[in-house]
Structure 1
């Protein structure tokens, strides 16, 4: 049975998917990580924002041509066929549901800071994490409308403490506190490249709006607008917050801080300021979790519907949501969360986080080349527009290659193995599809 999904996501909910998908837990820790790079860290963040804008424009161009659900998966499949589409869907799906686990762990950490009993009990920590996972599995099964409303509300709420720090916090900036351009003796170009790869991660998630494309009202206009305006919103918030925090807290204190934005909130408004920021961090993580889960479920559903993922992922509920897909993700995320409590697996889990950037950037790269290929063969647009879109795709691809090169040989090696691990799944699925086709003849 073919399901036609309802178009219920307008511009503001799509904008919330872009902003909420990217702004998660990273912004609440990045100033502490970036201060070691000095002023070059801020410059690299601005450069990463420009790079993310090209990615947004590239995805926006593709969304006008490929209106199916699935985002980068759908784009890669349209440009290069089923197998390429499967590899991208596989890597993208893994990156998304493992990101859900990472956000859950960060959430329980911040929750423990507000409720010491949770921090003191591993059992309560696990229960809190499982509650978050299954609460939003339920929300997403309930419907995209409900998930979109949650995304919009949490996005607005999470921006409040960030905007306060990024605006009022500027009044507390001491220029002498700002770190030097290059705080050490390392090569400036090397520092810039390393910081670029680090800060680019903070923009990963903007593609979330392209995944539920079949639920978007007037997607060929709404999605590109939401991508560009949402990415600009993220960039402005990030840079203002980073500048304010680095100008308020001395570098040595910032490097040692486990909650740099909460510390900045304390400097602005005392203990209550720190509490407000901590609550804002929790809201931010809730919003990011909801959007990441939505993208993971929709990606698997789209791939299954196209015959490159197991068919169970396309089972729809009465509310036109891929319920089985969300339940499977909930089970996997729950298992990984519980396993992460075992000390022996902490190192392995940490490494998964290190390669998660690559598992998302590779779909970006495939999307960029798919955009170039589809644009060249599109006879419905002018030659001038073809050139503009080709330029955007080439620059977006170059940015992806730079991020991959800056990630290190080991991360690239293990990411390749992770993608190849999905090949047997593709073989089994396609074999079953062929057998089914023969039986129906």
Structure 2
């Protein structure tokens, strides 16, 4: 049975692969205008993410068979309605994110196939082929998607570690000066850069979502989450140190391919192609991992009868294929919108709208963790205090992340969550109707 489940390396690859997408290749340029103080932003984000990773690891040990991760934990701690809102928003957010990842993948391929940059039709066809190939692969079983995740994660980490570690030998100390070029205080610069970098840690929860398909989930998920966080943090910080040390900040902040520019300085002009290949693999691997997730989340809600039953249908491989097909259809629609001139702004709006929906599950999971631990009356006082402290740390960090998303993201994310309420009311009323109908049938019998 264990052979058909995700092990420690597949689970770790799911965490690392989903956290490290194509966006990390642009991050050094986004931080360059702040100066080398931005490296502290990475450290603060990593510390906050540690609290979250620890919470998710502990929750996976408390509720080892709870498929759905943040949804399942929220439902256990805060009830059906809160759980539904988390899952509803998260599902839509993942569909939007997968569309954005697909666009990044096609963009990276345009280095090798220039037609993808000039022809919207070619770009759309390539994007659709990648979406539906990975959908097909994920319907082949959890081990097929897990193996693909391991392969793509190793391949994407190779160029990142080559730049991150090899770049240390090309550093020029003067490129780290001045320390703070933000124009404000050091604390303000750290807060601003941490608000940017914390989005690179989104996906830390991914090993918890297919819990029922993980071998020995009580131990494996926690270890995979912490190991994934460690690997991603090393890549992020060492990569930023190397690139900031190789490329002067005045040049770096205008770069659209900072890793490629650093690779050219280190290895020559042909290195740009290797880095572009790394971006493509990173995006492809992230799309594979999030495709797995986009089927598991609605399946978990449907299994608890809080979502339409079609999302709970499994194929012979035990994969929630119906939900995956519906989700991939949404991803295809969102991705195509980006290549239609009249719909580009709507696509950007959807991404903004979904930002909060990725962060809310962290907040609810932290609150649920404290509640679940408080219900365990056998806990010693010291254990309870440490559990509350851990939950409070994760909750505070999540709240800070939500604030960092910006006013517009919070507003429209709230609208998205509220849009799910009519569906929840309809499902609950349908369940009541079914129960009443069954009761009448028994009475008549």
TM-score under structure 1 length normalisation: 0.96
Do 1:61 and 1:389's aligned partners in 2 also have CA atoms closer than 8 Å?
no
Could you say which residue in structure 2 is the equivalent of 1:348? 346
Structure 1 segment 31-430 matched on structure 2, within 5 A: 31-67=28-64, 68-430=66-428
Alpha-carbon shift at residue 326 of structure 1 (Å): 0.7
8 Å contact from structure 2 (residues 161, 235) kept in 1? yes
Take 1:144 and 1:35, find their aligned partners in 2: how far apart are those partners? 40
Residues 277-330 of structure 1 show CA distances to partners (whole Å, capped at 9, x for unaligned) of: 111111111111111111121011000111111111111101100000110011
Alpha-carbon distance between aligned partners in 2 of 1:35 and 1:380, rounded to the nearest angstrom = 51
CA gap 1:419/1:6 in 2 versus in 1, 3 angstroms: farther
Counterpart secondary structure, 1:69: coil
Q: Note if contact 2:362-2:398 (Cα within 8 Å) is conserved in structure 1.
A: yes
Q: Distance in 2 between matches of 1:118 and 1:361?
A: 33
Checking the alignment, whether the CA contact within 8 Å between 2:29 and 2:258 is kept in structure 1 is yes
SS for the counterpart of 2:111 is helix
* Contact 1:7–1:214 (Cα < 8 Å) also in 2: no
Deviation at 1:403, TM superposition (A): 1.4
| Distance of 1:426 and 1:191 partners within structure 2 | 42
Q: What is the CA distance between 1:5 and its match in structure 2?
A: 10
- Whole-Å separation in 1 of the counterparts to 2:2 and 2:361: 24
Q: Secondary structure at the match of 1:256?
A: coil
Report the counterpart of residue 10 of structure 1 in structure 2: 7
Q: 1:354 to 1:242 in 2, by over 3 A?
A: farther
Bigger mean CA deviation after superposition, 6-15 or 133-142: 6-15
Q: Is the 8 A contact 1:179 1:246 kept in 2?
A: no
Q: Deviations over 1:191-250 (max 9, x none)?
A: 322221110000001111000000111111111111111101110111000110111112
Query: Offset of 1:345 from its aligned partner?
Result: 2.6
User: What count of residue pairs does the alignment treat as equivalent?
Assistant: 438
Unaligned runs of 5+ in 2: 440-445
- The 8 Å contact of residues 53 and 232 in structure 1, kept in 2 or not, is answered as no
Aligned mates of 2:230, 2:177 — CA distance in 1: 25
- In 1, the alpha carbon distance for the partners of 2:74 and 2:335 equals 31
Work out the CA distance in 1 between the residues paired with 2:174 and 2:345. 38
Report the alpha carbon displacement of residue 435 of structure 1 after superposing the two structures with TM.
1.9
8 Å Cα contact 1:368-1:394 kept in structure 2: yes
Provide the C-alpha distance between the structure 1 equivalents of 2:352 and 2:337, rounded to a whole number of angstroms.
Answer: 18
Task: Quote how far apart the aligned CAs of 1:187 are.
Answer: 3.7
**Once structures 1 and 2 are overlaid, which stretch shifts more, 270-279 or 380-389?**
380-389
Deviation at 1:6, TM superposition (A): 8.3
Residues 216, 222 of structure 1: 8 Å contact kept: yes
Distance 1:317 1:379 in 2: 41
The equivalent of 1:26 in structure 2 is 23
* 75-84 or 192-201, which deviates more: 192-201
Note closer, same or farther for the CA distance 1:391–1:274 as it changes in structure 2 (3 Å cut). same
Closer, same or farther in 2 for the Cα pair 1:355/1:252, shift >3 Å? Answer: farther
Find the aligned partners of 1:290 and 1:179 in 2 and give their Cα distance.
Answer: 40
Residue 381 of structure 1 deviates from its aligned partner by 4.2
Give 3-state SS (helix, strand or coil) of 1:113's partner: coil
**C-alpha separation in 1, matches of 2:113 and 2:281:** 15
- State the distance in 1 between where 2:338 and 2:438 align: 45
Question: Is the 1:368–1:393 contact (alpha carbons within 8 Å) kept by the matching residues of 2?
Answer: yes
In 2, Cα distance between equivalents of 1:168 and 1:371: 41
Cα separation, 2, equivalents of 1:160 and 1:293: 23
Structure 1: which 4+ aligned runs deviate by more than 4 Å?
Answer: 4-7
Q: Is the 8 A contact 1:70 1:302 kept in 2?
A: yes
C-alpha distance in 1 between matches for 2:210 and 2:405 = 29
Please identify, of 377-386 and 355-364, the stretch whose mean Cα deviation from structure 2 is larger: 377-386
In structure 2, C-alpha distance between the alignment counterparts of 1:37 and 1:352, rounded to whole Å: 28
Q: What's the CA shift string for 1:368-387, capped at 9, x where partnerless?
A: 00000001111354433322
1:422 Cα deviation from its structure 2 partner:
0.6
The 3 A distance-change label for structure 1 pair 114 and 253 is farther
